[in-house]
Structure 1
């Protein structure tokens, strides 16, 4: 069975800024998307640039970041989305450098665990829109530690986009979860399509972005993901994977005979301004002749 297309929503786009987001790479990714598939899986969904561009009618999205996944669940819920927008308006009305650090420091207090899911979702979105470079980074205690962004007019309340995401997640057959990628992909079967956008293999010893989750994503995790791609291929699934064009990544997928395309992507999120710009990445897939003119 192939997917039934939903009516395309032109308002649908990421509601967060995200390190490694795929907006800049979308023109390349579109070239290699399968023409037909059943359920769409995205185990490392992040801000969802590919998801919201593709707009599949059946989807399973996941991320190891529990705070991030909480925002998706709140936006999908009928009562949660309105409460979220109202809380974001409150944050917007009080926004200042001092207010930012007060909200940022909430997860350093014992009563943070007593906050509601919608309060936590509003906090994450507020901090994401107002912190430096839109990063999500936590320290070894799991506390958000990105400094103030000092933007003149940050777009804290984008209710049009949030409502578009709410409508889409409820119009589609959508399942949202917070697990390890291996657990999520246990249910993927023949005819399904999986887009994989893991934390990238660092291009140097100093470039690793490890603060996204407490556990990071190691070379062993990259190999575990590669082995999962082999398993998906055996099941008759199609997968497309993005990663940095390091010798390690190219070697581990080359040795399994997968199709590898090198593409250039623009990166705007980096703490060092001189390191922002075009860098080589790879798209790895287990199919050929899918490129669209």
Structure 2
């Protein structure tokens, strides 16, 4: 089935896999039944593969709300996006909404359009919230951000509607609970930090520390026992390499484009972990 090239990420997302897609695709199984992605984020791998049956999930409720709005009400979303202004004062007014009671009264389409607008106009295209769950990235001051990317949004809408794509907002263990033999699970969790100062914890309110990495590894073991094919991305730290030492590990080099510290952007070693051989 021909892929629609307009089906691509509609957000810039920390840890996004666009520039690693060529490497990842080398190791995707030739055939599988249902595709699972428990940390879907910006959806680069999902939209590259465009499976006909998938279960996608993310712990970030605002992100998942946006996926669902694109699927269910893309016309209203586009109408709201067209109203936004690339203006500093306007940006901070809209950003501050999640600090008010008015935020809960917004419709799903209004909240989705706010998320996309903030993502397109904030500094470095970063999604980050504080401990109260409030968006806290400053204005990016870009001359002409692509706030209303109608071709991409309509193509993603069409893909989500025309295929069997279940969209969840739950814990990663729950997200893969129905995976069985013959299914393929791609796992792209928050990465193990390569240094004590590099941890990116602002993606959601729930920190993803070593205990969570261990719980995730136990989930990979469970999926393996069920006969699922699993491919996992993470940083190439000694901790991760030791954790998955019983699996096939491939080292790949990625460019980290999103980091608040410019000195930490650049080429970083990452791992692809598999419970199967390259096909």
TM tier relative to shorter chain? over 0.9
Structure-1 separation of matches of 2:60 and 2:275 = 27
After TM superposition, list the pairs within 5 Å mapping 1:98-247 onto structure 2. 98-247=89-238
SS in 2 for 1:179: coil
SS in 1 for 2:19: coil
Structure-2 separation of matches of 1:8 and 1:263 = 26
Displaced runs of 4+ in structure 1, greater than 4 A?
Answer: none
Report the Cα offset of residue 171 of structure 1. Answer: 1.2
SS in 1 for 2:94: helix
Q: 1:105-138: per-residue Cα shift (whole Å, max 9, x none)?
A: 0000012111111110000000000011111111
Structure-1 separation of matches of 2:94 and 2:207 = 25
Instruction: Give 2:17's aligned residue.
Output: 22
Instruction: Give 2:258's aligned residue.
Output: 269
Structure-2 separation of matches of 1:182 and 1:11 = 31
Structure-2 separation of matches of 1:273 and 1:139 = 21
Structure-2 separation of matches of 1:8 and 1:170 = 15
Instruction: Give 2:267's aligned residue.
Output: 278
Matched, 1:87 2:76: no
Give the root-mean-square deviation of aligned CA atoms: 0.8
Structure-1 separation of matches of 2:127 and 2:6 = 24
Instruction: Give 2:277's aligned residue.
Output: 288
Structure-2 separation of matches of 1:10 and 1:183 = 31
Structure-1 separation of matches of 2:243 and 2:4 = 38
What's the TM-score once normalised by structure 2's chain length? Answer: 0.99
Structure-1 separation of matches of 2:168 and 2:42 = 14
Structure-2 separation of matches of 1:268 and 1:8 = 27
Report the Cα offset of residue 274 of structure 1. Answer: 2.4
What's the TM-score once normalised by structure 1's chain length? Answer: 0.94
Q: 1:218-266: per-residue Cα shift (whole Å, max 9, x none)?
A: 1100000000000000000001000000000000100xx1000000001
- Structure 2 gap ranges (5+): none
Structure-2 separation of matches of 1:166 and 1:205 = 40
Report the Cα offset of residue 87 of structure 1. Answer: 0.6
Residues matched between the structures, number: 279
Q: 1:144-201: per-residue Cα shift (whole Å, max 9, x none)?
A: 0011111111110100000000000111111001000001111000000000000000
Report the Cα offset of residue 95 of structure 1. Answer: 2.2
- Structure 1 gap ranges (5+): 1-5
From 63, 68, 82, give the equivalent of 1:68: 63
